[in-house]
Each structure stands twice: as structure tokens, then as C-alpha cells.
Structure 1
Amino acid sequence: MNNQLLQAYLSVTDAIAQNASPEAAYRAVEKAISDLIGHRLFTILVRCEGGEEVERVYSSQPEAYPVQGRKRMGPTPWGDLVLTRKQTFLGRDKEAIRWAFPDHELIESLGLGCVINVSVQEGGEILGTLNVLDQEGAYTSEDQVAVVRSFTPLLISALTKSRK
């Protein structure tokens, strides 16, 4: 295993061991992913009762994307892909951002042009999504998606607490 990746995992598990709050887990995963692949926006969404809406429980830019903001994403193509079919989404460019998100104008106004979305699952149930965005061209490989995806099990407890 890559030493940098191992150190990132250990930093997250140490943070969770010291502080079991969802916020501590969210911050630790954000830092780890930032150190490994970088980002300009990092959010975590919890899937609301009924599955049609998601609610933001963590945001690295709360002024643009505040915590507790909700989006109706279930009946969208993105929702079908990520929330229903449980697939990851690698949006490599602004065209992909426009396809996926109704708030694409705000996303682009922040200088963001690519995204990685991965679901956080427990026993096949989607608890929420982990989302990282950066300037166009920053995310191009499935290896970057795999790095993000590898941290999702570390968020299960935090998202379970956030859903209550």
C-alpha cells in the first residue's frame, strides 16, 4: 500500500478514535482527500427519508453551500446513477457538471469544472454521498475515484448519526 494513502487512513481513524462526532470524521476525511487528490469544494450529503432529497451535512465552503441545504436529486439522471444504481460519477468537465446538477451555474461561478461523487453505503443501503469538486481537468482518472471511494466506509457511523 502506498505510504501516503496509509498515513491518510491512519489520520482519519485516529481522528475518529479521539472524537466520535460526525463533524470530526467529516473534517478528517476532507483533509485526507485534499492531501491525496486535492479539491476546491468538499461536501457530504445524507439521503433523506424517502430517498428523493439529499441534505448537506458538511461543506468546505458553507458560504456558497451551507450545511442543511437540501436538493431534490432522486428523480434526476444523476440521482438514478448515484442514488438508485449505486454507481460512482466522475464528471471530468463543465459539460458533465451541467448534465448532473441543477445548480451548475453556482458551481461554475466558483471556478469548479469537475466532480467525483461516490455513495456511502451500509448493507446495500445508501446513507449519503461524498462529493469533491475542483477546477476543470483536475479529476480525470478512475484511480482518483477509487481514492475517494476508499474513504466511504469510514463515514458510515458519522452519516448514521447525522440521519437521526
Structure 2
Amino acid sequence: MTELLARLAEPGQPETLYRALQEETQRLVGHKLFTLLYVDGADVARVWSSHPAEYPTSGRKTMGATPWGAHVLTGGKPYLGKDKAGIRWAFYDHALIESMGLGSVINLPVRYDGETIGTCNLLDAEHHYDEEKLSKIHHLAPLLIPAFLEARRK
């Protein structure tokens, strides 16, 4: 954690932090897709993607009133989807997700001042993620607060 905090002071923000978080989550729990999205009204806007061809940065989508949105965006709780059924329940673009060989997800809400301002998202093969892996990374989400507040101002 100390290393990640030190990265906040380095030049080239927020990309320096985004890359460091991608590397740290890979080390701690692994992932095949890593994305970061900030909340912008009813939309979420992607500011980082490990697979920009499929999930480009600056991509936007309206989340609307979905069960996933109620859980993560409104409720501020992490979402752990262990299998393809969990992916299908949460995401309308589940066909693209599955076509990439992905079948499990962790979504970490980034919370500030009582609201969710973004999410950190890790996806991998079906049954890759469990509660133990979630517990290894949930504490990293607050590191994104400064970058997401800045993104929302622009």
C-alpha cells in the first residue's frame, strides 16, 4: 500500500496510478481485464482499460436503474460474480465479456462523501474470483478518489 500511495506523488497522473493499480491487482489476485470507470450522472465513463480494443477508454454507458447499479452504485457494496450467471445478471454486454473468455468479476465501488463516484473492475475466467480474493483488494479502491474527482470535474 505504501508503494501505491507513493505513486500518487509521481508525475503523469492519473495514468501512473492507474497502471500501478492494474499491476498491483494482477499481483494480488490476477485478472484478464482491468477497467476503471467514474460515475457521471446516469452514465459511467471508462478512463482506463487493459483491453482498449474491446473496452476503449472514454467509452460510456448508461447504467440506469439495474440490480447491479442498486448494489454497487447506490448501495456502495462490492460485487462478486463468480460465474457466467453472475456476469449475465450484472451486465448487458455479457456476450462480449464471455467471448473474451471471461466468466467472473469483482467490481469495487470507489466511495467519497457518502456516494459512489466510480468503480474498479477486474474480470477473469469463470470461478477465478471468490471472497478471499475480494478481501485482498477491496482496500485499494479509495486510492482512486483523487483521480475520479478530477475526471468528474472535466
TM norm structure 1:
0.89
Aligned alpha-carbon RMSD (Å)? 1.2
What letter is aligned with 1:15? R
Counterpart of 1:22? 14
Secondary structure of the corresponding residue to residue 138 of structure 1: coil
Greater CA drift, 81-90 or 16-25: 16-25
Alignment partner of 1:131 out of 102, 109, 121: 121
CA contact (8 A) 2:79 2:106 kept: yes
Segments of structure 2 that go 5 or more residues without pairing to the other structure are: none
Secondary structure of the corresponding residue to residue 8 of structure 2: helix
Counterpart of 1:159? 148
Q: Give percent identity, aligned residues only.
A: 46
Equivalent positions of 1:1-164 (< 5 A) are: 9-19=1-11, 21-48=13-40, 50=41, 52-141=42-131, 143-164=132-153
Question: Per-residue displacement from partner, 1:31-59 (whole Å, max 9, x unpaired)?
Answer: 100001000000001000x3x21011110
Task: Count how many residue pairs are aligned between Structure 1 and Structure 2.
Answer: 153
* Structure 1 residue runs of 4 or more that deviate by more than 3 Å after TM superposition: none
Q: CA deviation at 1:94?
A: 0.3
What letter is aligned with 1:134? D
CA distance in 2, matches of 1:131, 1:41: 8
Question: Per-residue displacement from partner, 1:34-85 (whole Å, max 9, x unpaired)?
Answer: 001000000001000x3x2101111010010001111111311111111111
Question: Per-residue displacement from partner, 1:121-150 (whole Å, max 9, x unpaired)?
Answer: 112121100100000111022x32122221
What letter is aligned with 1:16? L
TM norm structure 2:
0.94
CA contact (8 A) 2:28 2:137 kept: no
